Structure 1
């Protein structure tokens, strides 16, 4: 692809052609609105979707009657996406540094966790990609304080289908060399204005159109790199099971129609009825006429009544629904955590056994990290660039700090089992005290915890004459 600079050189002031080349989607047949509708419960994307069931017409002419059929929807897409997001980025977020620049790292961590609230923004970002198949996070500088005392800060916005159009542009090496955002806003006269923003590492170019042609303005990009993190996937998270979902919802809807028809028992009457009970009568009974047999033998005959009921659904239908249900969950690596499934889990189940139960979901989360892990590291890079601009004294330290952000899996750890393992490692002499404290989930402040332990050891040693374990002396 030609770079943004090449496009400017090629088309000059023909801004419409430049914008046209920059606003080409990376996937030709992306149906974002249909994905969103299906996620929210609409079922009309495919010919066999339950939302396309036609109502039944009974009778003809003036006696014609339209009977609405059932269109039952199970929101599998929302369940699948919710679980996938939880296993991918729903666990504890760990921000770590491989360097010694404590002040710079603390500034980054405060900005990342408290100012930008990145834990929530990352979850929104991942969720949007899984639903709409693409999303972006736009980082931008802000000015706080009075005019004479400006302090630069950072903010972040999620770009999705509601915020307008957005398109990445890649060079011949598949690296993003430009990012374009197009949206509509209002001017002072409350008239529509089309705005196109093009972000490159060097500058931010803005095209605006109120009436007539686009007008172009440009300003320096303070980050020194494109302040956008973009991610996409080829299809929504639930696309692999749409045929199973359609079959399940269609079969269940037909079953509901059958239940509506057969659930109430029918009274079959044999012979001539003399009287029927009213619906409010207590102690109901049906009275039949008694007739003497014509043979003259003195015997009498009478009618009879019995209920016509549908005892149970066919076993084949029950089996089909069960197989479709299991297939939907297994094909998307989504654990079925319904109450009936988890109520039998024993309290003594080990942490390793529990993780093995969710191994399929954990493997899927690792696969998703191929996309989102790289995106998160780019977020770190952009935030470091932003902080380095308005806090330049920390720029070098931040660049050398080797900052990393990871998310633990959301499965709760077996705390007792973990502490026993740490205690055994200490007793066997295969792990240092510092490493044990670092891996102790109950130790919130690692350094303070280590100091407290050593003080207790020194106190005990002074009384008992013991050697201080873990001492640096």
Structure 2
């Protein structure tokens, strides 16, 4: 963008010139265009400081200055800083109860076997299950994250390919969005920095709309903008938004960390026994290198040890109350070695009841994540049909995908198999549905073909035996 164009844009903005978002980008006025968007960077950075142990508030405790009676500085007294990784524990438990096992995808349409098989292979190639866990972990820590669906041409094969990129503040990504009054995503921008020649760090902003992709690079004067048509036809982003998992209990976490740090200071000062003796005794104390432990008391001399009693019961009760509230109010079950030992050989249903708090939170998250998975399916269908394999676009458009969140501890498969076996034997299920529901079968289509082959072979054997019986001589 030239100096004249920069000055022109400034004058238009100063006099109230109305420029739409697309017009600003077309004019290479990226700064004002991005200013129209909602930026999540500041909030995400604030939540991330609460999440990472090294930046907890308790780490701001300063060492205490020790002075003599006249107020002269003597030395610094070290103060303990004990951060407790509650936020990470809470976040990981929430994650495992939602995406601990991969989302189960099903084909709800007919005549789309090729499209469904292509989708499953592509999901494995792009490592979607790993990426969605990473994005959910980042959103639980920072409040927002995104998965960017990047299509590009492979230099080796010269074919289009798909790459998933998880964006988060921890990865130094800035996320900007524009939504309409119905909360539909209308524009998305990704800000990042790249080190270029001369060890120079350059600010980049990639802006995505349904029609266009703007790749913006900060220049010496203004912005350099390259504009491309969006081949996907949709904004290729899956946006995760939520309140951080630890946000409701953060004040209690800070209280526990501060109390534990102060308690550690007290222990350092008073836990070791100290000797109390009169002046008559001090002169007869053994030297440090001597092994003798005999003290001779004269003229009524007295000697004793000053020991520190354990912390008061109220402090212990306070910690236990806060620990219980932090976990329960964040819907986090207390999972430790002792508690897990007591579960023994409980069934999946029984474990689900024990972990009810986490199950409640997972069900709450599904209110949003159902929509996220539906959007993912829609994006993948558009990418497959418009970019990766447009020859089969018509079949991809017919593909209807269903999804199901799975229990983290699995299902009671023996009960399930017994139930579907009974329904199959009663004639309530077809053989193909029976095979689809069986947890032992990984490839339903292949298994049905093997069953048909075996049935055909058995029928041929029976007919051969019948022919042999027909030509047997009779007595």
Shift of 1:359: 1.6
Shift of 1:257: 1.6
**Alignment check: 8 A CA contact 1:203 1:219 kept:** yes
Residue 112 of structure 1 is matched in structure 2 by 123
Residue 307 of structure 2 is matched in structure 1 by 309
Q: Which moved more, 1:398-407 or 1:314-323?
A: 398-407
Task: Give, in whole Å, the separation in 2 of the partners of 1:268 and 1:417.
Answer: 71
Task: For residue 383 of structure 2, give the secondary structure of its aligned residue in structure 1.
Answer: helix
Task: Give, in whole Å, the separation in 2 of the partners of 1:314 and 1:187.
Answer: 60
Q: TM-score, normalising length from structure 1? A: 0.82
State yes or no: 1:247 paired with 2:255: yes
Task: Give, in whole Å, the separation in 1 of the partners of 2:254 and 2:31.
Answer: 43
Cα distance per residue 1:40-64 (max 9 Å; x no partner) = 21355xxxx4234343333334463
Shift of 1:83: 1.3
Q: Which structure features the higher share of helix residues?
A: 2
Residue 8 of structure 2 is matched in structure 1 by none
1:7 to 9, 17, 21: 21
Task: Give, in whole Å, the separation in 2 of the partners of 1:266 and 1:128.
Answer: 50
Q: CA RMSD in A?
A: 3.3
Task: Give, in whole Å, the separation in 2 of the partners of 1:31 and 1:122.
Answer: 22
Q: TM-score, normalising length from structure 2? A: 0.81
Number of residue-to-residue matches in the alignment: 438
**Alignment check: 8 A CA contact 1:35 1:131 kept:** yes
* Gapped regions of structure 1 (runs ≥ 5): 292-301, 464-473
Task: Give, in whole Å, the separation in 2 of the partners of 1:42 and 1:344.
Answer: 34
Shift of 1:241: 0.7
Task: Give, in whole Å, the separation in 1 of the partners of 2:325 and 2:430.
Answer: 47
**Alignment check: 8 A CA contact 2:343 2:351 kept:** no
Cα distance per residue 1:209-248 (max 9 Å; x no partner) = 3222334432211111111222222x42211111110111
**Alignment check: 8 A CA contact 1:192 1:210 kept:** no
1:272 to 275, 280, 294: 280
Cα distance per residue 1:161-205 (max 9 Å; x no partner) = 234423111234432222223334355566554433321111212
Residue 130 of structure 1 is matched in structure 2 by 140
Task: Give, in whole Å, the separation in 2 of the partners of 1:89 and 1:356.
Answer: 19
Task: Give, in whole Å, the separation in 1 of the partners of 2:123 and 2:19.
Answer: 33
- Mapping of residues 8-407 of structure 1, within 5 Å: 8-9=22-23, 13=27, 15-16=29-30, 18-25=32-39, 30-43=42-55, 49-60=57-68, 61-62=71-72, 64-100=74-110, 101-114=112-125, 116-144=126-154, 150-161=158-169, 162-185=171-194, 191-233=200-242, 235-269=243-277, 272-273=280-281, 275-279=284-288, 281-282=290-291, 284-289=293-298, 303-347=301-345, 349-389=346-386, 390-407=388-405
- Cα distance change of structure 1 residues 284 and 144 upon mapping to structure 2, 3 Å threshold: same
- Cα distance change of structure 1 residues 287 and 108 upon mapping to structure 2, 3 Å threshold: same
**Alignment check: 8 A CA contact 1:129 1:232 kept:** yes
Task: Give, in whole Å, the separation in 2 of the partners of 1:224 and 1:368.
Answer: 28
- Cα distance change of structure 1 residues 425 and 267 upon mapping to structure 2, 3 Å threshold: farther
**Alignment check: 8 A CA contact 1:168 1:230 kept:** no
Q: Which moved more, 1:392-401 or 1:218-227?
A: 392-401
Cα distance per residue 1:384-409 (max 9 Å; x no partner) = 21111231232222222212344312
**Alignment check: 8 A CA contact 2:95 2:133 kept:** yes
Task: For residue 71 of structure 1, give the secondary structure of its aligned residue in structure 2.
Answer: coil
Task: Give, in whole Å, the separation in 2 of the partners of 1:394 and 1:335.
Answer: 48
